[in-house]
Amino acid sequence: MSSSRRSKKKKEEVPKPRLKEKVTEVLDLPKEVILDIPKLTMIGNNNLVIENYKGVIEYDTEKIRLNTGIGIIKIGGKGLVIKEITSEDIMVHGKIENLEFCT
């Protein structure tokens, strides 16, 4: 047999689900809490609620930057105010013009 016939086929690498992902699916738990990812709820372009954030990095009326478990979320717009803030969630009000994820 020639060496060309003996060529080995590479198996395609398929990412395996992590243990935490499997547990959340089996137990039907909220992924955003177990996997430490933010949950964003936007109502129109005037209200945004972000759950499971880590902290406020920057805040003014045109830009808000938040730290999360998966990176930084940048909120851009006009007249931005933090209407409500707790250790678990933050509510932003104003004319939200863009939303950016920086990982």
Q: Which residue type sits at 98?
A: N
Instruction: Please report whether residue 80 resides in a domain.
Output: yes
Look at the chain and report how many structural domains it folds into. Answer: 1
For 91, counting Cβ atoms within 10 Å of its Cβ (0-12 exposed, 13-18 middle, 19+ buried), the class is middle
pLDDT computed for residue 97 by the predictor? 98
pLDDT of residue 39: 92
List the pLDDT tens digit at each of the 103 positions of the chain: 554 444 444 555 555 567 767 766 777 766 666 667 899 999 999 999 999 999 999 999 999 999 999 999 999 999 999 999 999 899 999 999 999 999 8
The answer to whether residue 93 is domain-embedded is yes
What the block records as the tokens of 35 is 């996997």
What are the structure tokens assigned to 14, written together?
């398929």
Query: CATH code at 47?
Result: 2.60.40.2000
Closest CA to 48 of 71, 73, 18, 14: 73
